[in-house]
Amino acid sequence: MPTALAVSLAALLGLPVGAAARRAALAYTVPSGQPPRTTCPHCQEPITSLALRTTLGRCRSCGQRLGAPALLPELLTAALWALAIAALGVSWTAAALLWLSTCSVALALADWTHHLLPDRLTLPTGAGLIALLAIAAAADHQGAAFARALGGGLALGAFYLLVALVSNLGLGDVKLAPTLGAALAWFGWRYLLPGLLLGFLLGALYGTALLVTRRAFRNHRIAFGPFMISGTLAVCLLAG
């Protein structure tokens, strides 16, 4: 398949997948132990995928916004899918990055809006990524890359656990770290540190901007998950 056609098709498919990411973020940003949200938080009208698609992310009953601004997750997912195919072509490694990109949009939305990285999103993200990387390793004879990905996941997970012990970093970030470490290390050990540092840099720049504009104070907590994810995806796309 020609590259331009594959990229265009990926972008088109990314739109409905982004709608699914919006739905997942909305459904699972609930307190621990509660079932997934199935109704509008404003009027309790049942939420359907059709309602999200036809009203650009607003409840068809009360008109209130459901989660992210209109078309944000849809366009973001479409862009990430197009970039992944452009960087990696049609391959199992690309499939793994498509999965990670889709789940990352849902996770970033959940963390940004509710400061929550729910296990019901984080754990399937990691399991799906490892499964797809295992298939990629078998299909392309990349056993060493798969072993490296597992090692990278353990390394980044251990690092974030240590950071959490001496700071106010959330456990959701710690649980997400192994997935991001696996994705980075799949492309090579040399990408693990840049992906880590870029996430911290983006978070620091955002925090500094909040302080400068007096929109936050020094003890203000920010959602760090979106910056972890952004740093990882950026480095993975460049590595591909």
pLDDT at residue 178 tops 60: yes
CA distance 164 to 171: 7
- pLDDT number for residue 132: 97
- pLDDT number for residue 158: 96
pLDDT at residue 155 tops 60: yes
Residue 121 CB: number of other CB atoms within 10 A? 24
C-beta separation of 116 from 36 below 8 A: no
User: Is the model more confident about 217 or about 9?
Assistant: 9
pLDDT at residue 210 tops 50: yes
Average pLDDT, stretch 76-104? 96
User: Is the model more confident about 58 or about 134?
Assistant: 134
C-beta separation of 102 from 24 below 8 A: no
Average pLDDT of the residues of the chain:
88
Average pLDDT, stretch 163-180? 92
Q: How many domains does the chain have?
A: 1
Average pLDDT, stretch 176-187? 97
- pLDDT number for residue 217: 62
Residue range(s) defining the domain that contains residue 139: 3-239
User: Is the model more confident about 48 or about 42?
Assistant: 42
pTM: 0.90
Average pLDDT, stretch 20-39? 82
Give the confidence band of 220 by pLDDT, cuts at 50, 70, 90.
Answer: low
**Helices 72-88/92-114 angle, 10° precision:** 150
Residue 67's φ and ψ, nearest 5 degrees, are 80, -130
Average pLDDT, stretch 184-192? 97
Kindly report, residue by residue over 103-152, the tens digit of the pLDDT. Answer: 999 999 999 888 889 999 999 999 999 999 999 999 999 999 999 999 99
CA distance 171 to 215: 25
